[in-house]
């Protein structure tokens, strides 16, 4: 806190603060500054505490067409936004918003394909304001490749020859 001349004031001597006890968790808060001594008046200030970035993002289950994501609960978060990287757009796009859960199943994916995801926590304050935390680190994971189908089997001279269809994403 500084006065009109830019002098730094001393808490307890030049001013007192009143702030809510719960302000250690993410949300929107009001703090009151009461001037005293050589200073008069007061000021109400509003500030926000954003949630910490989501951590522990993992692919719990992968099928040929879906990936189930899980993550560690972020203290104070009331919901999360799931982002998927879009190569055609060159950026992450919103895939879903979820509340009070730490898992999401992304469906409609292509078999044997690599995807990138991020999770961003948020808090909705009492007045409806949404306070966003930072996004998680990117998780790069892939769907399972399709199962190949055997087209033919031929045997000659004690050897068998198999021919199967190619599937994308195999190595």
User: Are residues 135 and 83 in contact, defined by beta-carbon separation less than 8 angstroms?
Assistant: yes
pLDDT at position 116: 98
Has residue 133 got a pLDDT over 80? yes
pLDDT at position 65: 95
pLDDT tens profile 44-57: 998 888 999 999 99
* The pairing of beta strand 67-70 with beta strand 103-106: antiparallel
Q: Phi/psi of residue 113, each to 5°? A: -125, 140
pTM for the whole thing?
A: 0.77
User: Are residues 69 and 138 in contact, defined by beta-carbon separation less than 8 angstroms?
Assistant: no
pLDDT confidence band for 115 (50 / 70 / 90):
very high
pLDDT confidence band for 29 (50 / 70 / 90):
confident
Section 85-106 average pLDDT: 96
How far apart, in whole angstroms, are the C-alpha atoms of residue 51 and residue 161? 59
pLDDT tens profile 154-167: 888 889 888 888 87
Decide which of 24 and 26 is more confident: 26
């Amino acid at each position: 806190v500084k006065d009109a001349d830019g002098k730094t004031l001393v808490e307890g001597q030049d001013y007192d603060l009143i702030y809510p006890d719960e302000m250690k968790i993410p949300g929107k808060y009001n703090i009151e500054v009461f001037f005293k001594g050589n200073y008069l008046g007061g000021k109400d200030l509003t500030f926000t505490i954003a949630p910490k970035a989501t951590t522990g993002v993992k692919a719990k289950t992968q099928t040929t067409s879906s990936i189930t994501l899980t993550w560690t609960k972020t203290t104070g978060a009331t919901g999360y936004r799931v982002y998927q990287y879009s190569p055609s757009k060159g950026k992450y796009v919103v895939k879903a918003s979820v509340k009070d859960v730490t898992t999401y199943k992304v469906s409609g994916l292509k078999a044997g394909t690599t995807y990138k995801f991020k999770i961003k926590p948020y808090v909705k304050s009492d007045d409806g304001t949404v306070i966003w935390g930072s996004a998680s680190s990117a998780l790069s994971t892939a769907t399972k490749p399709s199962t190949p189908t055997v087209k033919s089997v031929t045997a000659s001279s004690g050897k068998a020859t198999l021919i199967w269809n190619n599937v994308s994403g195999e190595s």
